[in-house]
Structure 1
Amino acid sequence: MLRTLRRSLTAVGLSLATALTGSLLAAGAGTPAHAAVPATIPLKITNNSARGEQVYIYNLGTELSTGRQGWADANGTFHTWPAGGNPPTPAPDAAIPGPAAGQSTTIRLPKFSGRVYFSYGQKLVFKLTTGGLVQPAVQNPADPNRNILFNWSEYTLNDSGLWINSTQVDMFSAPYAVGLQRANGDTVSTGRLKPGGYNGFFNALRGQPGGWANLIQTRPDGTVLRALSPLYGLETGALPASVMDDYINRVWQKYSTSTLTVTPFADQPDTKYYGRVSGGVMNFTNNAGTTVTSFQKPDASSVFGCHRKLDAPNDQVRGPISRTLCAGFNRSTLLANPHQPDSSADAFYKDNVTNHYARKIHARTADGKAYAFAFDDVGHHESLVHDGNPRQAYLTLDPLN
């Protein structure tokens, strides 16, 4: 349900703008509202990183009752961003001191849609343009946050409850887990890596031929900071533009002589669309044989970003088909299974041409869940927890080992 936020931010690269208040909430729209959901809930942040640096916390996003962009302080009080400039002007210091190693700090989450950032050792640099808040963009070597170790979680708290996730859509960096306590006292969590999973991921990426090791960013002293997503790898030249061409070409060839069946809604098994490639275009028809949407052959950027030639509008036809295609390309399941999406992760990432970044992340999460690309929630393989009336939320900073 948080995928649209990430896709919009990736595409725009600027601000937590209207994407936060629009389709981000669509997945929760059908959930009955709970009048008992309070104006704020506690977020307990626990520092299990074993690192000695000062931690800084930021709660940035959109106030859902007004649509205003800003930040929340430790008490959950909302503050609107002032007007920005061109060139960008410094944003107000929204940093909240985080817990020392082995300690916990509790802040309040308001009814908000946005991100909780955390950084080690240095405060993050945020600036404001006339269009809103400038997010860190570490794929840019000149970004002032390039050499800071940081990460973020995404969440929405509204009258239908809380959704909170871990995300690697933009990068894989400082590990953390998210969780919540339900009204009955039960707790659920996701996002935690297996023991040794952090270093194991980077070692595996270094051993993957084809440019994948180039996704890793380090400080000048050699300290590993993060791995960029494949989309940013393409944009920075770390990955070759042709990295997915072989698989894409084989898919287009296969479905020029056979049919790809997409059943995009698990709760609507009779809603099916049928794809065939003709004249280099994959056309989808409905049960009546009417063409409902068409796709040009995608490139690697379209696949990794789930955008451009695989654009997924928030409608009931093209968007659902596109997100299914996007998941199938990233997981390399479209050749093996002409009925999409796949229900079992056992079939994912088996082709030599695949999203190896996503493959290696999922292999190292304790529950197999991750948001390693924008539509990783197809088939419910995402690292997201939700409750309609949570008592509190959790963010746990884990060791970098």
Structure 2
Amino acid sequence: MTTLDDVLTLQKTSNVLYPPTIDGPSTQSKIETATASSGTLSIGLYNSTTSSTVYAYITGLAIDNSNALFLLESDGQTAYYPSNPSSDGCALSADCAIALGAPGTTRTVTIPCIAGGRIWFCVGSTLTFLLNPSTSGPGLVEPSVSNTSDPNYHLSWDFCEFTYNSSQLYTNISYVDFVCLPISLTLTSTTGSTQHVAGLPSNGLDTICSNLIAQNASDGAGWDQLVITNNGTNLRALSPSNGIVFNSNLFSTYWNSYIDAVWTKYISTPLVIDTQTSWGTFSAYTSNDRTSLTFTNLGSFPKPSSTDIFGANSGAFAPQATNTDQLLNIGARLDAAFNRSTLLIDTDQPNNEVVSSYYGNSVTNHYARIVHAANLDGRGYCFPYDDVTPDGGVDQSGFVSDGSPASLLVTVGGGNAYARREVKMQEEGRVMKRSLGWEEDVKAPVVVEDERERDLEKGIPLKLANESASREEPRRLKLPPVMERWLGPQLAKLQASPFYMQRVAPLIALISQLLMSLVSLSIRTVVSRVFIVVLFLLFYFLGLLPHGSNGETQQRVLDSMVLGSGDGTVLLQGSS
């Protein structure tokens, strides 16, 4: 017998989504009490890549149809409920590849209430989904990044996760398994309010891969093994958990020194965990035999392995026989503190934590650190409990949610990462500003909009947020993709140097301003100004010609010339 929670957990570990045998609500997502939804939701799928061959897929369990396996057909409107196949690996009987169209276009689709939902994107090809039989109905075999024989393994694809039920829409950008395509989210409520997760820029994957390689060069821990390439191009960056799937020895002793230091710290000092629920707080000390952290009258956590810390579902953080819910809650907060390396600087978890102190130790989840840093607003689900947040703290998991959603925009490609923009309008001599929602924004050419004129809302990069508002950051030089891979890191170092800031950047700005001024001139203006210059030069030089033989200047000779008709009639005569 399996519940909805059981099958959603299985989906994350086996890449197969089965219907549950027991109907009931899910606790997997962050569900809040809110008004009921309308039962369907409009989703805009915006192609911000440079490719016209981009496909989307929407999968999940249909809540209003007994949690049956659901896929959306290629028309973006028709629900497809597969039949239970007779054997493993059967093909879908319906076309579920939703073509997004050319870059800059939006495909609008409609979905019912769904649990365990995913919106998949693939650039350059369609994806292959298969069906397996089960007693509760067909199971969907989803694409996998940890199985080299998977037909989708060498393709460029990614997904975001969502739950849409009668309480709310909850969706987030997921990096728990890997990073590939930039995805951003914009959720608009029926009241007109907007929530936004900016996601990665278009070159985000290359940035992450180069930084993983640089981190490995620094500590030799094996971070470079998380970079997967195809024909010399970065294909994806794996999470540490999936990296361990390919190499069981990867990071095997990585956390040992840090764990030992944590166990030593809490021999005499209590570790306080706030469950952020009615259970309140619990305190723990290192056990007398120095093998575990013991919460009085509740349970203990043995020293975790690297697999336990990165995956959060095995060993020390697996469900326990007694006080299961409380220990899972505490384990989530303990695991988040391990990944962020805050246990040696903060004895009160998670409420004393601040984002600026995350990943400060040399032993930390550098994959999460690097991925967060690459995102435009620093947000994205990088490990299983990345949604652990201090009360009133800053969310790190990259989610949007609303009890009364009107529409959701999901952007793939990284080129339209902001929720809305400010547009200046002239009206009777006054300059006004109007905020465009995404429905209007996606119709405007992206290249026309100056990034500095956008309403960044929650999409302000962390670097910009920490700088003085009066100082504008120099624009980064753009390189072709082929050159970016090799010259990008060196160019980044140059642009971070005082020489670039003080010398090169102002020169580039000056040249750019001159070119923009020239381009902004109309053809009529250019022709008229050239004509005036030519006339000026003509009269100037005519007035400076040598004197004539009779003492008159050449100009006077010209003035005294008589233009006449053929019979000698004078038409024009100069003065004497």
TM-score after normalising by structure 1: 0.89
2:454 match = none
Counterpart CA distance in 1 for 2:176 and 2:319 is: 16
2:166 match = 159
How do 1:28-39 residues align onto structure 2 when only pairs under 5 Å count? 28=31, 30-34=32-36, 37-39=37-39
2:108 match = 106
Give the alignment's Cα RMSD to 1 decimal.
2.6
1:127 match = 130
The letter of the residue matching 2:332 is R
2:14 match = 12
Q: For 1:33-70, what per-residue CA distance to the aligned partner results, in whole angstroms no more than 9, with x for missing partners? A: 32xx2221111111111234x11111111001211112
1:337 match = 346
Residue pair 1:215, 1:229 contacting (<8 A) in 2 also? yes
User: Residues 88, 75 of structure 1: CA spacing in aligned structure 2 closer, same or farther, 3 A cutoff?
Assistant: closer
User: Residues 353, 21 of structure 1: CA spacing in aligned structure 2 closer, same or farther, 3 A cutoff?
Assistant: farther
Counterpart CA distance in 1 for 2:400 and 2:72 is: 22
Are positions 1:298 and 2:304 aligned together? yes
How do 1:265-276 residues align onto structure 2 when only pairs under 5 Å count? 265=276, 271-276=280-285
Are positions 1:348 and 2:358 aligned together? yes
Counterpart CA distance in 1 for 2:379 and 2:232 is: 29
1:307 match = 313
Shift of 1:312: 5.5
The letter of the residue matching 2:274 is T
Counterpart CA distance in 1 for 2:57 and 2:48 is: 18
How do 1:309-328 residues align onto structure 2 when only pairs under 5 Å count? 309=315, 310-311=317-318, 316-328=325-337
Identify, as 1 or 2, the structure richer in strand.
1
Q: SS in structure 1 opposite 2:161?
A: strand
Query: Which residue of 388, 393, 400 corresponds with 2:403?
Result: 388
Q: For 1:187-208, what per-residue CA distance to the aligned partner results, in whole angstroms no more than 9, with x for missing partners? A: 2210422575432212111111
Counterpart CA distance in 2 for 1:207 and 1:189 is: 31
Shift of 1:7: 5.1
User: Residues 5, 254 of structure 1: CA spacing in aligned structure 2 closer, same or farther, 3 A cutoff?
Assistant: farther
How do 1:126-275 residues align onto structure 2 when only pairs under 5 Å count? 126-131=129-134, 132-193=139-200, 196-209=203-216, 210-219=221-230, 221-237=231-247, 239-265=250-276, 271-275=280-284
1:281 match = 292
User: Residues 134, 217 of structure 1: CA spacing in aligned structure 2 closer, same or farther, 3 A cutoff?
Assistant: same
Counterpart CA distance in 2 for 1:59 and 1:274 is: 44
Q: How many residues align?
A: 388
1:288 match = none
Shift of 1:14: 2.2
Identify, as 1 or 2, the structure richer in helix.
2
Structure of larger gyration radius: 2
Counterpart CA distance in 2 for 1:4 and 1:165 is: 20
Gaps of 5+ in 1: 286-290
1:59 match = 58
Counterpart CA distance in 1 for 2:318 and 2:272 is: 19
Q: SS in structure 1 opposite 2:367?
A: helix
Residue pair 1:91, 1:126 contacting (<8 A) in 2 also? yes
Counterpart CA distance in 1 for 2:357 and 2:8 is: 26
The letter of the residue matching 1:215 is L
The letter of the residue matching 1:232 is N
How much identity, in percent, do the aligned residues show? 29
Residue pair 1:5, 1:20 contacting (<8 A) in 2 also? no
Residue pair 2:46, 2:412 contacting (<8 A) in 1 also? yes
Counterpart CA distance in 1 for 2:5 and 2:337 is: 16
User: Residues 26, 103 of structure 1: CA spacing in aligned structure 2 closer, same or farther, 3 A cutoff?
Assistant: closer
Q: Which has the higher contact order (CA 8 A, sep 6+)?
A: 1
Counterpart CA distance in 2 for 1:231 and 1:20 is: 31
TM-score after normalising by structure 2: 0.63
Q: SS in structure 1 opposite 2:162?
A: strand
Residue pair 1:42, 1:109 contacting (<8 A) in 2 also? yes
